[in-house]
Structure 1
Amino acid sequence: MGDMQGREIEVETTNMAHGGESVARYEGRVVFVADAIPGEKVVARVTDDTKKSFWRADTVRVLEPSPHRRAHVWPEASVDRDPAGRPGGADYGHIDLAFQRDLKAGVLVDALSRMAKVEREVVVEALPGSTPESTADGTGWRTRERLHVGDDGRLGPYAARSHRVIAVAGLPLAVDAVREHAPLSERMPGAGTVTILAPSVGEGARLVIGAQKPTVIRERVGDREFRVDDTGFWQVHTAAPATLSAAVQDAIDPDLFDPKAANLDLYGGVGLLAAAVGDRFGAGLRITSVESDERATEHAAENLAEWLGAAVVTARVESFARGLADASVTERARLAAATVVLDPPRSGAGAAVLEPLAAAGPAQIVYVACDPVAFARDVAVLAQAGYELDRLRALDLFPHTHHVEAVGTFRRR
């Protein structure tokens, strides 16, 4: 531990790093500063000086504010509160909404340029919120909120980069039903975590307490309903399932699409994106959805039942991709004509999945990414394997946070 921990330093921030912190320099050293905006002069308290190459710090006073600084959408996370008492989960909440999107675009452009040597212009597209007001101010979109129980039994989010529970009066990013049902003033000692969720089918919200057994809920996307566990994965933004479905449909080049090929939906969850492909290309579609979570694949089998050519496989995507090398001659031909959709977790798909996948030679790959740096790394892996990034869109699925979603189409060189 160095001697700077807890010390206050004056810095000027230059750009936004991936992860929601601004970059500054102090006596030649890189400092990642939370709650600042590029171009500001701030006083920041050093929170971590243990790394040789960089420090971390929290903004405690803004000396020269950015023109893009706004009152924080979450009052408890305001810069005039002690950093230790600010809830995490809205790390862009003090930044004008349009400028948030510019910053996210910049992070994606920079990652692609640095890691994949791909130069692209990107515009981050806004999504509709649950009401006209929430659309305008970027609040009211979270259909799920996970709270933790503090030492006093009160519920709240964790502080940023910590496991300390913070008491809050409200949840501005949540949809109305979640806000109304969140037991913020109750004491629930021993509950561990409480998730409040508002499914799109049915009224109101429900609570999932601790390691409760999963209950099946239904989520509606357009005219279609999906079965999913209340503890299972579903997109959090109220408009995300429909927006991503449409984005994947648009990302597929119909000239390269063969409904009879060995089409794949990797990390398929409960079948949202496989169904999007099915809705675009019709009843004759053949597609295999691969997902490691057994409960999710049970639901996917039901959610995709109307497509006779849809198969659901419970497997780790890595092992499934490795197995493609053993395909028969006929299967190989069907794989070479295939469209592959993949929506990996934040860590990306990585070489262990993408190299055997690219070796099978599909006609096109549509990659849904929730982490720009992992995505850029994978763009480089695919380029090495003969696939270039053709179309790219970026979607603001997580307003007031640093997260951004990208949808890229790759085709064989």
Structure 2
Amino acid sequence: MGEMQGTRLEVDVTNIAHGGISVARHDGRVIFVSDAIPGERVLVEITEDRKKSFWRAETVEVIEASPHRQPHVWAEASVDRAPEDRAGGAEFGHIEIGHQRELKRRVLVDSIKRMAALDTDVEVQPIAGPADGTGWRTRLRLHVAEDGTLGPYSSRSHRVIPVTSVPLAAPEVARITPLTERFTGSTHVDVVAPSGSNSFVIAGDANAKGRPKAQTIVEVVGEREFRLDVRGFWQVHQAAAQTLTTAVQDAIDETRFDPRAANQDLYGGVGLLAAAVGDRFGPTTRITTVESDSLATDHAAENLQEWLGAQAITARVDRYLQQLKRTGVSLDGSTVVLDPPRAGAGREVIDSLADLGASQLVYVACDPVALARDLGFLSAHGYRLERLKAFDLFPNTHHVEAVATLVRD
């Protein structure tokens, strides 16, 4: 434990950093502060001072509040509680919703400027749902304490916080979430409310060996149905799948799209974005969706069966692209949609796409820093950022979704 740990200081909060954390300074040292808003003066308690370059701290009292501060949308996460007792998962819930989007815009634009040396601007667009950004989660994972109590983790630790409400949950999820029940023998409980089939409460054990029994659900996007496993990946916000379908369709430069080229949907899950491409460009569209989860690719094959040129491959994306290079496949003229996990695609995948000659990339990103890093790699390979859109798919949290179009002439 460092000598400053537990010390309380008054600080002025000047900026927002990635991860929903605000930035303050004390005697020239950077302090990363939770539960504050740029422009505020707050009393903080130092929680970590082991790093020479910065400290971490919790807000314990707001001395001069931002005009953008609001009562927290989740009472159990409020700054009125001791920091260790604040529920995690709604770390922007104390900020007025329009200003949340402005802070997300700043993080995205600043990250791209810093890491990719690109000047860009973007509006973080709201999507369909309650105006205060509650009631959107179709999937919710809660954790089980040693005594069987259910709740979210504390925002600072793996301590389970008992709660009486789950305000970010969609109404059906909130209705069936068993907050008062005890779950001994489980480590977590998932609540899933699909748009096209029954809702589920599933107790799980993270320590269990093997894969749990598969259970198929249906999600509906527009006129189309997608089948997937109840534990499989699907966008969490009830309007997100439709928003991203439209965003990817709009992001493709049709003058550069060749339906007969070796078009790709990488990290494709159960085929949502491959179907978006097929629906935009018609039944002759060739597209290969690639996903490492074999259960998801089984579902993708089924979900994409109406396109003769569609196929689903189970593979890690980096290895799949290496295989294309070894077999002499060219992606010249092709459009590549990629929706990587939070860590982003990374240098190896970007290098392979450039080597293979992909003409147009539509990059769907849930992490602005990973996107900015990868835009830097792409820029070095001669790709230019043609357009960038951002969507508030995770209101009342720090997360933001971006869709970038990159082309190489």
TM-score, length of structure 1 as denominator length = 0.96
Alignment match, 1:369:
365
- How much does 1:25 deviate? 0.5
Counterpart pick for 2:332 among 332, 336, 360: 336
User: What letter matches 1:358 in structure 2?
Assistant: A
Alignment match, 1:195:
190
- What is the count of residue pairs matched by the alignment? 403
- How much does 1:324 deviate? 2.5
SS of the equivalent of 2:102 reads helix
How many Å separate the matches in 1 of 2:276 and 2:55? Answer: 44
- How much does 1:128 deviate? 0.6
Query: Pairwise mapping of residues 218-229 of structure 1 onto structure 2 (< 5 A)?
Result: 218-229=218-229
How many Å separate the matches in 2 of 1:29 and 1:120? Answer: 29
- How much does 1:326 deviate? 2.3
User: What letter matches 2:188 in structure 1?
Assistant: T
Counterpart pick for 2:162 among 167, 173, 177: 167
**Structure 1: segments with no counterpart, 5+ residues:** none
Alignment match, 2:252:
252
How many Å separate the matches in 2 of 1:405 and 1:412? Answer: 23
Alignment match, 1:345:
341
Alignment match, 2:300:
300
| Aligned-residue RMSD, C-alpha | 0.9
How many Å separate the matches in 2 of 1:311 and 1:386? Answer: 29
**1:131-154 alpha-carbon deviations (Å, 9 max, x no partner):** xxx2x1110000011000012211
SS of the equivalent of 1:336 reads coil
- How much does 1:269 deviate? 0.4
Alignment match, 2:114:
114
User: What letter matches 2:142 in structure 1?
Assistant: L
How many Å separate the matches in 2 of 1:127 and 1:338? Answer: 30
SS of the equivalent of 1:170 reads coil
SS of the equivalent of 1:30 reads strand
- How much does 1:353 deviate? 0.3
Structure 2 residue 403 is the aligned partner of structure 1 residue 410: no
Alignment match, 1:384:
380
CA contact (8 A) 1:147 1:194 kept: yes
**1:358-393 alpha-carbon deviations (Å, 9 max, x no partner):** 111122000000000000000000011111111100
Counterpart pick for 1:356 among 352, 359, 362: 352
Structure 2 residue 303 is the aligned partner of structure 1 residue 278: no
SS of the equivalent of 2:396 reads coil
How many Å separate the matches in 1 of 2:166 and 2:7? Answer: 32
Alignment match, 2:153:
158
How many Å separate the matches in 2 of 1:25 and 1:3? Answer: 18
Consecutive aligned runs of 4 or more in structure 1 exceeding 2 Å deviation:
211-214
User: What letter matches 2:173 in structure 1?
Assistant: V
CA contact (8 A) 2:84 2:156 kept: no
**1:221-247 alpha-carbon deviations (Å, 9 max, x no partner):** 000000111111000000000000000
CA contact (8 A) 2:43 2:59 kept: yes
User: What letter matches 2:377 in structure 1?
Assistant: V
Alignment match, 1:268:
268
Structure 2 residue 175 is the aligned partner of structure 1 residue 185: no
CA contact (8 A) 2:387 2:404 kept: yes
Query: Pairwise mapping of residues 204-215 of structure 1 onto structure 2 (< 5 A)?
Result: 205-211=199-205, 212-215=212-215
- How much does 1:45 deviate? 1.1
Bigger drift between 389-398 and 208-217 goes to 208-217
User: What letter matches 2:187 in structure 1?
Assistant: G
- How much does 1:6 deviate? 1.6
SS of the equivalent of 1:164 reads coil
- How much does 1:209 deviate? 1.1
Identity %: 60
Structure 2 residue 400 is the aligned partner of structure 1 residue 399: no
Alignment match, 1:242:
242
User: What letter matches 1:3 in structure 2?
Assistant: E
Structure 2 residue 171 is the aligned partner of structure 1 residue 176: yes
How many Å separate the matches in 2 of 1:75 and 1:354? Answer: 43
- How much does 1:52 deviate? 1.2
CA contact (8 A) 1:324 1:357 kept: no
